[in-house]
Amino acid sequence: MAPPPQPPIIRASALAKAYRRAGGRVEALRGVDLVVEAGEFLMVMGPSGGGKSTLLNLIGGLDRADAGTLQVAGTDLGAASERALDAFRRTTVGFVFQFFNLLPTLDARDNVAMALVARGGDWDGARRRASDLLEKVDLGHRADHRPSELSGGEQQRVAIARAVAGAPPLLLADEPTGDVDGETTATIMDVLSGLNRTRGVTVVMVTHDISLTGYATRHVELRDGRISP
pLDDT of residue 20: 84
pLDDT of residue 38: 96
pLDDT in tens, 150-209: 998 899 899 999 999 988 999 999 999 887 778 888 988 999 999 999 999 999 999 988
Bridge partner list, 11: 35, 71
CA–CA separation, 112 vs 110, rounded Å? 5
The pLDDT confidence band at residue 1, using thresholds 50, 70 and 90, is low
pLDDT of residue 229: 65
pLDDT of residue 112: 94
Four-CA torsion 77, 79, 84, 89, nearest 10 degrees: 10
The pLDDT confidence band at residue 226, using thresholds 50, 70 and 90, is very high
pLDDT of residue 166: 86
CA–CA separation, 94 vs 169, rounded Å? 8
User: Domain residues of the chain, as ranges?
Assistant: 1-92+207-229
Does residue 23 surpass a pLDDT of 80? no
pLDDT in tens, 82-113: 999 999 998 899 999 888 889 999 999 999 99
Superfamily of domain 1-92+207-229: P-loop containing nucleotide triphosphate hydrolases (3.40.50.300)
Instruction: Give the contacts of 79 (CB within 8 A, at least 6 positions apart).
Output: none
Four-CA torsion 145, 142, 157, 153, nearest 10 degrees: 80
